[in-house]
Amino acid sequence: LAKTTQPISMDSYEGQEVNITCSHNNIATNDYITWYQQFPSQGPRFIIQGYKTKVTNEVASLFIPADRKSSTLSLPRVSLSDTAVYYCLVGDTGSSYKLIFGSGTRLLVRP
């Protein structure tokens, strides 16, 4: 399973766009890139998943360059409620239901 590296923490202000980058140099051909969000004392929540190029949903965008060795989660116009820990995961989720979580990025959104 590919190891991921992401910043330990980030600070932002309400209304700003936040970009969290994750490095995964050993990503395999069958691996997808998935991001989860976790609030204190709650289970993680799926945000977005992608394989290549760009994926967008109602809450975020995921940018994946051609070499797929990194990915960037983009949160547009963050609010205070986006303060949470964000996890980047890489794995062949098509055949394995085992998620390997790293340390995550603790995002603090200030007013």
Partner 1 sequence: KAGVTQTPRYLIKTRGQQVTLSCSPISGHRSVSWYQQTPGQGLQFLFEYFSETQRNKGNFPGRFSGRQFSNSRSEMNVSTLELGDSALYLCASSSPGDKGYNEQFFGPGTRLTVL
* 63 part of the interface to partner 1, by CB under 8 A: no
We find the least distance from the C-beta atom of residue 13 to partner 1, in angstroms, to be: 27
E-assigned strand segments in the chain: 9-13, 18-23, 32-38, 45-50, 53-56, 61-64, 70-75, 84-91, 105-110
Residue type, 108: L
d(CA 39, CA 91): 23
Number of residues located near partner 1, criterion CB under 8 A: 21
State which of residues 9, 100, 108, 110 lies at the interface with partner 1 (CB under 8 A).
Answer: 100
Residue ranges in 13-32 that form contacts with partner 1 under rule CB under 8 A: 32
Q: What are the two backbone dihedrals, phi and then psi, of residue 77, each rounded to the nearest 5 degrees?
A: 45, 70
Q: Give the residue with the Cβ less far from partner 1, 18 or 89.
A: 89
State which of residues 26, 52, 96, 110 lies at the interface with partner 1 (CB under 8 A).
Answer: 96
* 111 part of the interface to partner 1, by CB under 8 A: no
d(CA 44, CA 54): 23
* 5 part of the interface to partner 1, by CB under 8 A: no
d(CA 12, CA 6): 16
Of 6-14, 21-29, 56-64, 96-104, the window that binds partner 1 (rule: CB under 8 A) is 96-104
